[in-house]
Amino acid sequence: MLTNVEHIGIAVRDISASNALFSKLLNVTPYKSETVDSENVTTSFFKINQTKIELLEATSPESPIAKFLEKKGEGIHHIAFEVDDIKAEMERLKKEGFTLLNEAPKRGADNKLVCFLHPKDTNGVLVELCQEIKE
């Protein structure tokens, strides 16, 4: 079950410059930055109350973010929803006819298991499902 909007992902060309811009805009500094090698991205997270913004910079030309930037330029890349049980939600959405971009959850940024839905099934919006990893 979807519980809330977890974060909004924004593709950027230069994460350092974008961190400075969003720090001024939001009047907070990023609370976390990390590289996700499996996705070839560096991420930076901002939080205002319960709203999180994730900046994403490609670390390789093969990165999905690099390809997005080439096609569309900087801007909103995805919206992520928190779920209680990612495997159950993936199965439910698959039965509803949505195309999953990965068949099993994978480790993402910010200590999450993630799965993406193809934008062709969601009015052109890349949707990410996120579940906190309990260790």
The pLDDT of residue 128 is 97
How many angstroms from the chain centroid is the CA of residue 89?
Answer: 17
Per-residue model confidence as pLDDT tens digits over 1-16: 888 999 999 999 999 9
Token pair of 7, please?
Answer: 């974060």
Per-residue model confidence as pLDDT tens digits over 43-84: 999 999 999 999 999 999 999 999 999 999 999 999 999 999
Token pair of 44, please?
Answer: 């930076």
Residue whose C-alpha is closest to residue 101's, from 86, 87, 115, 120? 115
Question: What is the pLDDT confidence band of residue 134, given thresholds at 50, 70 and 90?
Answer: confident
**pLDDT of residue 107 exceeding 90:** yes
